[in-house]
A and B are shown apart, each in its own frame.
Chain A
Amino acid sequence: MTPSSSRPSAVVQFVTRLFHQPYVWAIVALLLLLVVNLTKNPGYLGVSVNAATGNLSGNVIDILRASAPIMMIAVGMTLVIATRGIDLSVGSVMAVAGAVSMEFMQTTGTGSFGTAVVAVLLALGISALLGTVNGILVSIVGLQPFITTLVMMLAGRGLAKVITSGQNTSATNEPFRWIANGTVLGFPVVFVIAVLIVAVLAALVRRTALGLMIEAIGINPKAARMAGIRPVGILISVYIVSALLAGIAGIFSTASVMTVEVAKTGMTAEMDAILAVVIGGTSLAGGKFSLTGSIIGALLIATLDKTIVYMSIPSSATPAFKAVVIVIICLLQSPRVRALFSQRQAKVTRTRKETVSA
């Protein structure tokens, strides 16, 4: 063995490891989408700094802002899916959270900071409550997660309409609006909050044994129970976390327009969340999960949404376009297609080896 070939450089190692991650194609797709946008406008990626306020602005910043709510529900969904569950109610919980906060602020009518805080706490409180109901029905009663959260999806939408008497409700409260439209160090507040929450959650899951236990339950619930893991507490917790994050997503998406549209807020958000999880490489069968993957998935979906608008694709064709892109990514990362690639690669290396030895 020659010294030059003895040890690949750190960069090569990093890239090799990256290419073994299931979400590598999501990164490739993300870059491709940006390139597509660049071809339309070479200045697409430009970020300008507002000299007066220090705020950053540009398409990339818009994408970060838009990705925040998707990140929230995608991370929650990842944990639920890892336990062999699914949470279809996240979109409706978003609507409920938005409805509660808007209704409260409209009724009290003050634009004070205190009102905003109470509105946020109310929204989070009711979200946690809905999550608890999901968790209890799944873990203690033993209902199927799909059915449980499907019912909650319908019930939540109904609850949001009851809270606002079926009206789209608006309110004025600058501190609340700041959550969606404000900036911290030039970055959108929603994105900063989202990153902080994800960092805290990731630490909670990976620095403690919670992640290991969630995976154990997802891979083999019987064996996990025999090993002394209490599944009930962990299951209830993941549904509560998922609902809480959906509540935060609800606040994010209503605060930007200061209006909750009970029939539209969070509509099909559960699909975005599930897609982000799948794109991120977490199996819907449960078990091993990747929060990083889901975040990349969320960024991709946000980029895709923005690209569709930017390329002026008609809004009626949006879902179809989105579907095509996502199917391609899922195809690229399916084990079978990957096996096809690696087979071809193996063949190439083998022929090379044979040539060398001959």
Chain B
Amino acid sequence: MTATEPIVEMENISIEFPGVKALQNVNFRLFPGEVHTLMGENGAGKSTLIKALTGVYKIDSGTITVAGGPRRFTGTADAQSAGISTVYQEVNLCDNLTVGENVMLGHEVRGPFGINWRKTHVAAHAALVRLGLGDLDPRQPLSSISLALQQLVAISRAMVTDSKVLILDEPTSSLDANEVEGLFTVIRRLRDEGVAILFVSHFLDQVYAISDRLTVLRNGEFVGEHMTPELSRGQLISQMIGKDADSLNALGSNRGRAAHTTGAPFYSAKDLGRKGSLEPVDIDVHPGEVVGLAGLLGSGRTELGRLIYGADRPDSGQVTIGGTHTEVHSPVAALSRKIAFSTENRRDEGIIGDLTIRENLILAVQARRGWARPLSRREQAEICNKYLVELNVRPADPERAIRNLSGGNQQKVLLGRWLATHPELLVLDEPTRGIDVGAKAEIQETIAALAEDGMSVVFISSELEEVVRLSERIIVLKDHRKIGEIVNGPLVTADTIVDIIATEGSSE
């Protein structure tokens, strides 16, 4: 299966950004017919290494050898023509075009009168068949298919050019278990055809399920390359974070804590719903309580969070906050009632990319005060110092543009933005998605500590283990409605929730 000659070999790669050594003497090899996973915490340099390989960043020193010859890419098109294609975490396709147009974009079949659309769609179909997606109609608009299918379409698109190297940067972060399995089938198929696949994921199970070889990076440095079966999970984690895995295992569970459900709830909603996105749901959250929302992707867990915050306008429901009957129809209203919401869509609804870390941190506090009462420099510095340190944001330079931070650090800044408003109810939608084990543990600890201090938390995550570990009560959603509510206890596991979702389905 493994060829002897690597198709990509990167040696002693160094890249320096102003003030940061993003990569230092990193080595990386990629063999044809092999899935190679790049592992590391956020900010370890995974994305930088990928961007160096695809020509987005220029390398300061080191050599890149592709198919035996030294290469220096000056752009993604350059890398693509050398047979290296990339599929990014956030699907970069055109929603308004058809599946086939997306697959063939830039490679349309041309005839004497311009583009021959019939032949283009035939070629698109062939590309889809190659990945086992023959059922997909290339003339269907892309917006009509699920995110998981869009991801596969993006891969077809990358493979149209007959790439020898396929880079998948966190392709699974928004997929559910079945969809991941579908994606893995496609990956294995391509691997068996001899394609070299570079895979990045934060889900350890997935890494062990799919990859043949691992390279671990830490703080921009090369830690080691291993065959996957030869490295235990514990070893991998300690290589990634540079300390013993015991500290991770020591992470507390909320199950032992006293239930908070006796007193009056801080937030209570009856029949909260919105046509087309969520059927009416009842939800109570008590002070100091973590309520988990569990369910598969598209079950309505995000929609419920958005309705609580007023990000989407609910069209039914009675809401009581702190004993007073009220309505939350906009984020402004929610913030003034001490509710904060951290979105799952960090890039489009969370960060304001061109602004600095400081400006991003203070934004919600400032918005609540109104533009006429600006925070003084000192107040701004206080907020920055407090949350950059407390949440361990790296680099902790408040004047750096937030878009230059890694995903996990952006997430921490956003969490800081909401904490700075001193909310009494914090709704967290996928706060740990797409971030590494270390940052994940830090964020989970923070959430537990916040609840300990009396904050109410609604915790939404696609990782059931995480929901079970943190929550005291779990609301299970499916197909845009609430199908159950369980009080967490020693007997509750992720499987319990899976069972609820599964039996609810079969009883229909």
Contacts and interface: CB of A to CB of B under 8 A. Distances in A.
Nearest to A211: B371
Contact size class for A? 20 to 34
- Which among B311, B351, B355 has the greatest number of chain A C-beta atoms within 10 A? B355
A225 B334 CA distance: 12
Interface in A214-245: 215-216, 219-220, 222-230, 234
A209 B354 contact: no
A208 B363 contact: no
Given A210-B371, A212-B366, A226 B350 contact: yes
Contacts of A216: 352, 355, 359, 363
A213 interface: yes
A228 B354 contact: no
B354 A223 contact: no
B364 A220 contact: no
Nearest to A212: B359
Interface in B470-486: none
Interface stretch (B194-202, B203-211, B313-321, B341-349): B341-349
Interface of B: 311, 331-332, 334-335, 341, 343, 348-355, 359, 363-364, 366-375, 417
Contacts of B374: 207-209
Given A227-B331, A230-B332, A220 B352 contact: yes
A209 B366 contact: yes
- Which among A209, A222, A223, A226 has the greatest number of chain B C-beta atoms within 10 A? A226
A20 to B, nearest CB: 12
A224 B351 CA distance: 9
By secondary structure, the A interface counts as helix
A84 interface: no
A288 interface: yes
B371 A219 contact: no
A287 interface: yes
B368 A228 contact: yes
A212 B369 CA distance: 13
- Which among A207, A208, A209 has the greatest number of chain B C-beta atoms within 10 A? A209
Contact of A226 (B343, B366, B368, B370): B343
A324 to B, nearest CB: 31
Given A209-B374, A219-B355, 11 more contacts: A208-B374, A216-B363, A219-B354, A224-B352, A225-B331, A226-B331, A226-B341, A227-B331, A228-B364, A229-B332, A230-B332
Interface in A169-228: 207-210, 212-213, 215-216, 219-220, 222-228
B353 A220 contact: yes
B351 A223 contact: yes
Interface of A: 207-210, 212-213, 215-216, 219-220, 222-230, 234, 287-288
A77 B359 CA distance: 24
Given A216-B355, A228-B364, A229-B363, A209 B335 contact: no
Contacts of B335: 228
14 contacts: A207-B374, A209-B372, A209-B373, A212-B355, A220-B348, A220-B351, A223-B350, A223-B352, A224-B352, A225-B331, A226-B331, A227-B352, A228-B332, A228-B334
A215 B355 contact: yes
A288 B354 contact: yes
A16 to B, nearest CB: 14
Contact of A227 (B353, B363, B372, B373): B363
Contacts of A228: 331-332, 334-335, 363-364, 367-368
- Which among B332, B368, B371 has the greatest number of chain A C-beta atoms within 10 A? B371
Contacts of A222: 348-349
Nearest to B335: A228
Nearest to B333: A228
Q: Which 5 pairs of residues, A with B, have the shortest CB-CB distance?
A: A228-B367, A228-B335, A209-B374, A210-B371, A209-B371
A227 B366 CA distance: 9
Contact of B352 (A209, A210, A219, A230): A219
Contacts of A223: 348-352
B354 A227 contact: no
A210 B371 CA distance: 5
Nearest to A287: B354
Contacts of A225: 331
Contact of B375 (A209, A215, A224): A209
A210 B369 CA distance: 12
Nearest to A216: B352
A213 B371 contact: yes
A234 B332 CA distance: 14
Contacts of B355: 212, 215-216, 219
Contacts of A224: 352, 363
B423 to A, nearest CB: 11
Nearest to A220: B352
Contacts of B353: 219-220
A219 B354 CA distance: 7
A47 to B, nearest CB: 40
A286 to B, nearest CB: 10
A249 B354 CA distance: 32
